[in-house]
Chain A
Amino acid sequence: MRSEWRKMTVLPTPKWTVVATVAAVLVAALIVAIAGAGEDNLALLMGIGLPTWIGSIVLGAWISGLEYGQRTMRRTLTRNPNRLSVIGNKLAVALLGGAGLTILATAIAIPLFSLASSGHELKVAASDTLNVGIGNLVNNVAYVIAGFSFGLFTRSMAGGMTVALAFFFVIDSLLTQIPVVGDYMLAAVSTEIFHAIVGNELVSSDSEVNLARAVAVSVLWLAVFVGLSTLRFVRTDVD
């Protein structure tokens, strides 16, 4: 796991992911300073949420697809031939990276959003920003795991990112529009979990939340992603 963490800290993609995420938080704070947070808290939700979702997908897909892009998987597997252990180490580091990214974005956003909204009637409370951060911290586990699984399955960082982004922002979101079936899509249950954490008031929602069902469905989805990609990884020869 130490070597995976070393890759995370010395290679450029994670650094640029952090830079892009922080930049997005700063832009969101600037919007709040100019136009206010808005009654629906959109700038707050988008400012921390969207960049850390994308960042989490990138980190997940990067750590699993990296070895294929650099043709280093054979080196990794001749140091640790237990492929399940390789997956476990990589996934753990990706989750740590995703959590670190979300915590950093939240830590920057807490004072910044309060300050930026201070000149407007609607203030952003530090506790609200913290709640949104915690909600994203939980939600981003799904994004990291999905990015990781798709990267491993496609054996490509770019492939993993593309599939994950298409899944979350197009396929899954569209399927939530189908009655009943839509309630079991990952986007729908993730939103339910997020609402349960931050509270319906902050996200201007009055929908009913069934947290236990949402968690169970999320775990099932992620188990399918990880299971399929692991199966492919374990059963395939490495170039």
Chain B
Amino acid sequence: MSALVTFENLTKRYSTGAAVDDLSFELAEGQVCGLLGPNGAGKTTAIRVLLGLARPTSGSTTLLGVSPGAPGFGNAVRKVGTLIEGPALFVRATARQNMQIEADSLGLNRSRAKIDDLLELVGLKDRAYTPCGSFSLGMKQRLGLAISLMGDPRLVVLDEPTNGLDPGGIVEIRQLIEKLPERGTTVLVSSHLLAEIQLMCDRAAILQRGKLIADGTISDLINGGGRAGYSVRVDPSLVEQAAATLGRVGLDSVPGDAGGLDVTGEIGNGKEISQPLAQAGIYVWELTPAKADLEQAFLRLTDESDRAKKVRMEPVSPVSADPVKEAVNAV
């Protein structure tokens, strides 16, 4: 498979610092690849350099084998559909007019049928003659996606396509993106919605402070960074003590929801968690097997995980100073 996108030691520096720092990464044809990272990780900047909207400080990128500014880049970029930081729409024009402007930009003749097909695909055929300024954010994103698909692009680059959408809108956009490989379109999608990336992508690259910190298939990333484990709930006042107790028997834990702990490590069954806790006088309120996911992997691979580790490493007092809590715990 040939690489449609390459980043080669790409660095983009602003006066405030490096937005992208020595990024090297390739995307082969036919993949749906996620570009992950917290806000400010450099995802959008990397995409802007790739598309020729910003100049690299050093390093290079290629899009369909051509670098920005090189002869043939215009032809290459016209085979790429883009949706960068929200849909770029002329809000006083109708959905159809926006599509026509795109068709004209691509030099497409007799684009009417194509426009109808795409509006149908994104569920906006009935609103084709409505000015898109009156659209909801979800409808605008769907129209942006339809525009990005004009001209049957080989590659679609989507930057935060689900930004600002409600859960229903997120599912709609995800389902649309999932259909793209069926049309022979390779997809590079950046997002910080990890569950969505996990559902729609074959592969992901994780950026943090402009650097690539992990790159692989979704299952590799999950297996490498997001091990299966258990979700444990104990008396909230004893969470830190529980984490320290589990740490002593070789289990990692990070604070989870509602005073719980997410425990990972070599765990045969739940007894390996409940027993050391009971021996330490901490009684388990709930013990639920947890499935490994991209979110866990991401947290482990980024600062969030570092912060969580710090919580785990903090010293805890062995005995509660509160006699009432102690009594409750004993019960």
- Establish whether residues B101 and A6, one from each chain, have CB atoms under 8 Å apart when the complex forms: yes
For A, the interface residue count at a CB cutoff of 8 angstroms equals 24
Contacts of B147 in A (CB 8 A): 75
Bound-state CA distance A7–B98 (Å) is 9
Among residues of A, the one whose C-beta sits closest to the C-beta of B54 is A237
Given contacts A74-B84, A78-B82, is CB(A6)–CB(B100) below 8 Å? yes
Bound-state CA distance A239–B73 (Å) is 19
- Establish whether residues A76 and B105, one from each chain, have CB atoms under 8 Å apart when the complex forms: yes
For B, the interface residue count at a CB cutoff of 8 angstroms equals 32
- Is residue A181 within 8 Å, beta carbon to beta carbon, of the partner chain? no
Among residues of B, the one whose C-beta sits closest to the C-beta of A72 is B88
Closest CB of chain B to A21's CB: distance in Å?
20
- Establish whether residues A238 and B53, one from each chain, have CB atoms under 8 Å apart when the complex forms: yes
Among residues of B, the one whose C-beta sits closest to the C-beta of A66 is B90
Tell which of B48, B84, B90, B102 touches A79, judged by Cβ atoms closer than 8 Å. Answer: B102
Bound-state CA distance A185–B74 (Å) is 40
Bound-state CA distance A43–B54 (Å) is 50
Cβ contacts A129-150/B at 8 Å (1 or 0 each): 0000000000000000000000
- Is residue B174 within 8 Å, beta carbon to beta carbon, of the partner chain? no
- Establish whether residues A6 and B53, one from each chain, have CB atoms under 8 Å apart when the complex forms: no
- Establish whether residues A3 and B77, one from each chain, have CB atoms under 8 Å apart when the complex forms: no
- Is residue B91 within 8 Å, beta carbon to beta carbon, of the partner chain? yes
- Is residue A205 within 8 Å, beta carbon to beta carbon, of the partner chain? no
- Is residue B104 within 8 Å, beta carbon to beta carbon, of the partner chain? yes
Bound-state CA distance A163–B74 (Å) is 33
- Establish whether residues B88 and A6, one from each chain, have CB atoms under 8 Å apart when the complex forms: no
- Establish whether residues B88 and A11, one from each chain, have CB atoms under 8 Å apart when the complex forms: no
Tell which of A10, A12, A75 touches B88, judged by Cβ atoms closer than 8 Å. Answer: A75
Bound-state CA distance A80–B102 (Å) is 11
Contacts of A239 in B (CB 8 A): 85
Cβ contacts B50-91/A at 8 Å (1 or 0 each): 011111000000000000100001100110101011101111
Given contacts A78-B80, A79-B102, A82-B74, is CB(A70)–CB(B53) below 8 Å? no
Contacts of A72 in B (CB 8 A): 88-90
Closest CB of chain B to A13's CB: distance in Å?
8
- Is residue A213 within 8 Å, beta carbon to beta carbon, of the partner chain? no
Closest CB of chain B to A59's CB: distance in Å?
16
- Is residue B130 within 8 Å, beta carbon to beta carbon, of the partner chain? no
- Establish whether residues B105 and A3, one from each chain, have CB atoms under 8 Å apart when the complex forms: yes
Contacts of A5 in B (CB 8 A): 104
Bound-state CA distance A74–B48 (Å) is 9
Contacts of A81 in B (CB 8 A): 51-52, 68, 73-74, 77
Interface residues of B in 110-165 (CB under 8 A from A): 147
16 A–B pairs (Cβ distance < 8 Å), ordered by A? A2-B107, A5-B104, A7-B101, A10-B94, A11-B92, A12-B92, A70-B88, A70-B90, A72-B90, A78-B51, A78-B53, A79-B78, A79-B102, A79-B105, A81-B68, A237-B55
Q: A79-B77, A80-B105 are in contact. List 13 more A-B contacts (CB 8 A).
A: A2-B107, A10-B97, A70-B91, A74-B48, A74-B51, A74-B84, A75-B88, A78-B51, A79-B78, A81-B52, A81-B74, A237-B54, A237-B55
Q: Name A's B-contacting residues (CB within 8 A).
A: 2-3, 5-7, 10-12, 70-82, 237-239
Q: Name B's A-contacting residues (CB within 8 A).
A: 48, 51-55, 68, 73-74, 77-78, 80, 82, 84-86, 88-94, 97, 100-102, 104-107, 147
Closest 5 CB pairs of A and B: A3-B104, A79-B105, A75-B88, A237-B54, A3-B105
